[in-house]
Amino acid sequence: MTGPARGGADPGLATAFRETMAAVCTPVAVMTGLDGELPHGTTVSAFASLSMNPPMVLVALDRASELLALVRRTRRFGLNLLGAGQAGLARRFAAKGGPAKFAGVAWERHCGVPRIPGSAGFVGCTVAGLAHGGDHLIVLGNVVAAETTGDAPLVYHRRTFGTPTALPEGSG
């Protein structure tokens, strides 16, 4: 019998939870911030709308994230909701690299943060607060701008990027 994993979780449960969550289809975004004029970003799939009145979102970031430290300091962030053809950007921003991730990537300043043109949507936010969530911090954001192109979103499911397809009428 094995002992508890980090934080007291049963290792078998942690593995089962990881596999169960891999079966959940999640949207993919690049969360961005600015350090002076240097853009920073990281791929996130743990984000969601939180409130309509006022408009709010939440994003979970690893406590060791460089972007989290920047967002805590600047109190601003952007969510570039990636489109079906942007899996390469998702992979690029999932790697370590700080501002080097933006090398060769077009971006513009919008709401004080980097916006990646061609994304399926963009949400600009100010930080409303932070909440503890295990090995992550949950960033609560007040939405100050929201735009969509109507393009198909990029999603992550079973460790693969894809996009949803509509079911035929009358199925299910």
Residue 138 within a domain? yes
Domain span at 37: 27-156
- 11-60 tens-digit pLDDT: 889 889 888 878 777 899 999 999 999 999 999 989 999 999 999 999 99
Tokens of 133: 């969530």
Which pLDDT band holds residue 7 (cuts at 50, 70, 90)? low
Confidence of residue 99 (pLDDT cuts 50, 70, 90): confident
Instruction: Tell me whether residue 91 is in a domain.
Output: yes
Question: Three-state secondary structure along 55-87?
Answer: EEEEEEEECCCHHHHHHHHHCEEEEEECECCCH
Q: Report pTM.
A: 0.88
Residue 39 counted as domain residue: yes
68 lies in a domain? yes
pLDDT in tens, 75-92: 999 999 999 999 999 999
CATH code of residue 33: 2.30.110.10
pLDDT of 72 strictly over 70: yes
- Residue with tokens 């969530």, as numbered in its chain: 133
Assess if residue 2 is contained within a domain.
no
The structural domain count of the chain equals: 1
| Residue 171 within any structural domain of the chain | no
Is residue 15, in this structure, part of any structural domain at all? Answer: no
